[in-house]
């Protein structure tokens, strides 16, 4: 017998028919003798609808009232799933974030989980065999008692944090894909599903463009050593053996659980990038702080940074990337700070893409990046910027070459045959 947290996203609970399918997945695990907590998202599209209502009601709305509205989607789903399970003969009860409680910071709309009390859930597992159906994405601010939400994708974080709180054996994230792939199968049809991925690798994949898991959920899993299993909710529930040691999906786990490690695990890409270049900036101490301090104050995330020294040795060019959604705002911040920075001109581009190569095996293998640069150059792909770390490197290229670059690198590292 195991203790399992099962999380179902919006597409998995998009309507009552799919909620009934989810209930069959849950019943399968209960019938196998497992203790089960379920975390659910709002039905697909409902959160966007509620966000639209908030904007229509008041463009400059109170963030606390915004959370009150958008948290309702998960409440509806949890109630419907609990009803369905009861109708199937499974003892179940719905829980909202404030009822457990799940305490969060007071940053409404993007709160972070501070503490979860899982004692009552564990007690009900033991005494009643009761399935807990929990609304994801939401919590409560302890000091004010106000409902809070965790930001987009927050139900993943809810599920992993709850798994840590109740000391679950694993956290199953059910989604519309059957695991984590070497890259997006829509771009590379030969992409392979990975059996296991290390936490560090998944953290890089999630932050660099892979959409399977929310970044904060992976962080929580790594910190609390919660094994995360990514699997499909569209597999037939009756076709899955709940006692199998190797059901279909991808396990996110500690590096030491992975016996054989590929040099490269996966290729991630993001087209949501913008490049900004400041020309002829004075080359003196403090200039980097003058550039990036105001951007940080405006909560604009800067990623790739390249600095060149000009031929006269007195000025420098600084190139960096920001999310494309923040491009206009970043340009305004830099224009307002022009006097304190002292640059001559600014160039920008939004038709760029970031391609990232990730793998813990890169720690012990030389020449991984150089072989990529050579392969891309042979395809006529120019590199605008490069950044590296211990287990990944990223290149910035023209967006038009995105698919060609991904396919080239996927084949270069043998991932077509992984």
Question: Where are the chain's structural domains?
Answer: 3-256, 266-417
Alpha-helical runs (H) found in 129-279: 154-165, 199-207, 215-224
* Backbone φ/ψ region at 39: left (φ over 0), alpha (ψ -120 to 50), beta: beta
pTM: 0.86
Q: Tell me if 190 is assigned to a ligand binding site.
A: no
User: CA-to-CA distance for 106 and 144, rounded, in angstroms?
Assistant: 8
Q: How many CB atoms lie within 10 A of CB 49?
A: 12
pLDDT value at residue 6: 97
pLDDT value at residue 310: 65
Q: Given 3-state DSSP classes, what are the helix, strand and coil percentages for the chain, each rounded to the nearest 5?
A: 40, 25, 35
Among residues 316, 327, 203, the alpha carbon closest in space to that of 253 is found at 203
User: CA-to-CA distance for 103 and 101, rounded, in angstroms?
Assistant: 6
Q: CA 209, 213, 218, 219 torsion: positive or negative?
A: positive
Fold held by 266-417: VC0802-like (3.30.2130)
pLDDT value at residue 93: 97
Residue in this structure with the two tokens 């994801």, named with its chain if needed:
136
Fold held by 3-256: Carbamate kinase (3.40.1160)
Q: Tell me if 73 is assigned to a ligand binding site.
A: no
Residue in this structure with the two tokens 């899993």, named with its chain if needed:
221
pLDDT value at residue 418: 60
User: CA-to-CA distance for 387 and 396, rounded, in angstroms?
Assistant: 9
Q: Tell me if 74 is assigned to a ligand binding site.
A: yes
Tokens of 315: 């000025």
Question: Are the CB atoms for 41 and 137 separated by under 8 Å?
Answer: yes
Q: Tell me if 10 is assigned to a ligand binding site.
A: yes
Question: Are the CB atoms for 4 and 36 separated by under 8 Å?
Answer: yes
Tokens of 262: 């590929």
Q: Tell me if 209 is assigned to a ligand binding site.
A: no
Among residues 374, 377, 397, 373, the alpha carbon closest in space to that of 385 is found at 397
Q: How many CB atoms lie within 10 A of CB 122?
A: 16
Q: Tell me if 359 is assigned to a ligand binding site.
A: no
How do 266-282 and 315-323 pair as beta strands?
antiparallel
User: CA-to-CA distance for 354 and 205, rounded, in angstroms?
Assistant: 12
**Listing from the earlier edge strand, what are the strands of the sheet with 345-358?**
305-309, 315-323, 266-282, 345-358, 392-398, 385-388
What residue ranges of the chain have pLDDT lower than 70?
245-246, 260, 309-312, 418
Rounded to 10 degrees, the C-alpha dihedral 19/42/175/17 comes to: 20
Q: Tell me if 79 is assigned to a ligand binding site.
A: no
Give the SS3 label for residue 224: helix
pLDDT value at residue 315: 86
pLDDT value at residue 234: 87
Which residue(s) pair with 353 in the sheet? 397
Q: Tell me if 11 is assigned to a ligand binding site.
A: no
DSSP 8-class letter at 130: P
Q: Tell me if 284 is assigned to a ligand binding site.
A: no
Q: How far is CA 416 from CA 16, 144, 188, in A?
A: 38, 53, 9
pLDDT value at residue 243: 76
pLDDT value at residue 124: 96
**Angle, helix 72-87 to helix 16-31, in steps of 10 degrees:** 60
Q: Tell me if 350 is assigned to a ligand binding site.
A: no
């Amino acid at each position: 017998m195991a203790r399992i947290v099962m999380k179902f996203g919006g597409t998995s609970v998009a309507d009552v028919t799919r909620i009934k399918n989810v209930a069959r997945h849950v019943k399968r695990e209960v019938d196998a003798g497992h203790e089960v907590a379920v975390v659910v998202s709002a039905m697909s599209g409902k959160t966007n609808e509620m966000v639209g209502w908030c904007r229509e009601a008041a463009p400059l709305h109170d963030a606390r009232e915004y959370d009150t509205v958008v948290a309702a989607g998960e409440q509806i789903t949890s109630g419907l799933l609990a009803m369905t399970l009861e109708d199937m003969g499974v003892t179940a009860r719905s829980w909202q974030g404030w009822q457990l409680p799940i305490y969060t910071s007071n940053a409404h709309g993007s709160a972070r989980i501070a503490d979860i009390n899982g004692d009552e859930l564990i007690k009900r597992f033991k005494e009643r065999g009761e399935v807990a159906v929990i609304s994801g994405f939401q919590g409560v601010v302890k000091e004010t008692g106000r409902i809070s939400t965790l930001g987009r994708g927050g139900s993943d974080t809810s599920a992993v944090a709850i798994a840590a709180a109740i000391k679950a054996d694993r956290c199953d994230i059910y989604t519309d894909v059957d695991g984590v792939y070497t890259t997006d199968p829509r771009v590379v049809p030969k992409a392979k599903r990975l059996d296991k991925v290390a936490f560090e690798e998944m953290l890089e994949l999630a932050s660099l463009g892979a959409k399977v898991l929310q970044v904060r959920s992976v962080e929580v899993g790594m910190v609390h050593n919660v094994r995360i299993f990514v699997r499909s909710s569209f597999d037939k529930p009756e076709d899955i053996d709940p006692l199998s040691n190797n059901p279909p999906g991808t396990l996110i786990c500690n590096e030491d659980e992975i016996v054989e490690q590929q040099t490269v695990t996966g290729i991630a890409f993001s087209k949501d990038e913008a490049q900004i270049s400041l020309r002829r900036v004075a080359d003196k101490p403090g200039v980097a702080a003058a550039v990036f301090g105001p951007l940080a104050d405006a909560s604009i995330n800067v990623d790739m940074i390249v600095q060149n020294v000009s031929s006269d040795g007195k000025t420098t060019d600084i190139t960096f990337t920001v999310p494309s959604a923040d491009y206009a705002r970043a340009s305004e911040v830099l224009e307002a700070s022009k006097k304190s920075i002292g640059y001559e001109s600014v160039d920008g581009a939004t038709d760029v893409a970031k391609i990232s190569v990730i793998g813990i095996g890169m720690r012990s293998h030389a020449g991984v990046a150089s072989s990529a640069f050579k392969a891309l150059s042979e395809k006529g792909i120019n590199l605008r910027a490069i950044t590296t770390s211990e287990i990944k490197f990223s290149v910035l290229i023209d967006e038009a070459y995105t698919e060609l670059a991904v396919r080239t690198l996927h084949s270069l590292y043998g991932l077509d045959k992984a």
